[in-house]
Amino acid sequence: MSLVKGFTKGLWRENAVFRLLLGLCPALAVTTSAVNGLGMGFATTFVLVCSNIVVASLRKVIPARVRIPSFIVIIASFVTVVQLCMEAYFYDLHKALGIFIPLIVVNCLILGRAEAYASRNPLLPSVIDGAGMGLGFTLALFVLGSVRELFGVGTLFGVAVFGAGYQPLILLILPPGAFIVMGLLLAGMNRIEEFRK
């Protein structure tokens, strides 16, 4: 597989959220606004790329039997980096995302890529794969967050979009709204896929 394809597959064809249904916990929980979705997506992308780099570099050294604990330790290190950086430079985002930043450790997307890709491929393809998958994840969270913020609050990036008379559908920024919007977007994605064939 070419590097370009390795990058773009994460954006659409194997999109983590909409095609593989991986990493749904943060995708549903933190996407109450476009900013939160982007923040969570970029944090995850950073961890994913870094952990893919380390896992791919050490793939011949890590014994097969303890590979999962090893991956978790590698991932957790980068999550700690993200968490401390975010707390220092993006405090509001840090507060909004809360417990879901440390929970990036158990994001099955990251562990899945480490196990399925980085641990059996050379460094460069692994980096590309991590970047593509991470950006696809970010894109999905951004779309989910935008739709929920747009109709649930009536704003986008905090800027009012509709007139003053707009009554927000508050349900969409509550947990059930995440599932409903997610389901509708999945249905839309499948419909587009059908047309492309």
Partner 1 sequence: MEQVYLSSSPHIHSGASTPQIMRAVIYSLLPACAAAIFFFGVPALAVLLIAVLGCMACEVVCQRLMKQPVTLNDGSAVVTGILLGLNLPPTSPWWMTLLGAVIAIGIGKQIFGGLGYNLFNPALVARVVLLISFPVQMTRWTAPTPLRYGVDAVTAATPLGEWKTAVMLTGRLPEGLQGGTFSYLVGNMPGCVGEVSALALLGGAIYLFRRKILTWHIPLSYVASVMILSGLFWLVDPGKYPDPLFHLLTGGLILGAFFMATDMVTTPVSPGGMILFGVGCGVLTVIIRLFGGYPEGVSFAILLMNAATPLIDRYMRPRTFGVVRQGGAR
Contacts with partner 1 by CB under 8 A lie at: 167-172, 174, 180, 183, 187
Q: How far is the CB of 10 from partner 1 (least distance, A)?
A: 28
Q: Which is nearer to partner 1, 156 or 180 (CB)?
A: 180
- DSSP state letter for 171: G
Q: Which is nearer to partner 1, 160 or 174 (CB)?
A: 174
Q: How far is the CB of 184 from partner 1 (least distance, A)?
A: 8
User: Which contacts (CB < 8 Å, 24+ apart) does range 66-75 have?
Assistant: 67/115, 67/119, 68/111, 68/115, 71/111, 71/114, 71/115, 71/119, 72/105, 72/111, 74/114, 75/47, 75/51, 75/104, 75/105, 75/110, 75/111, 75/114
- DSSP state letter for 177: H
Q: Can you read off the two tokens belonging to residue 120?
A: 């059996």
Which residues lie across from 156 on neighbouring strands? 159
Q: How far is the CB of 169 from partner 1 (least distance, A)?
A: 5
Q: How many CB atoms lie within 10 A of CB 74?
A: 22
Alpha-carbon distance 1 to 8, whole Å?
A: 11
Q: Which is nearer to partner 1, 71 or 151 (CB)?
A: 151
The structure tokens 């590309």 sit at: 128
Q: Which is nearer to partner 1, 174 or 192 (CB)?
A: 174
Q: How far is the CB of 176 from partner 1 (least distance, A)?
A: 8
Q: How far is the CB of 164 from partner 1 (least distance, A)?
A: 15
| Nearest residue to 37 via CA among 149, 128, 125, 164 | 149
Q: How far is the CB of 171 from partner 1 (least distance, A)?
A: 4
Q: Which is nearer to partner 1, 63 or 165 (CB)?
A: 165
Q: Which is nearer to partner 1, 11 or 171 (CB)?
A: 171
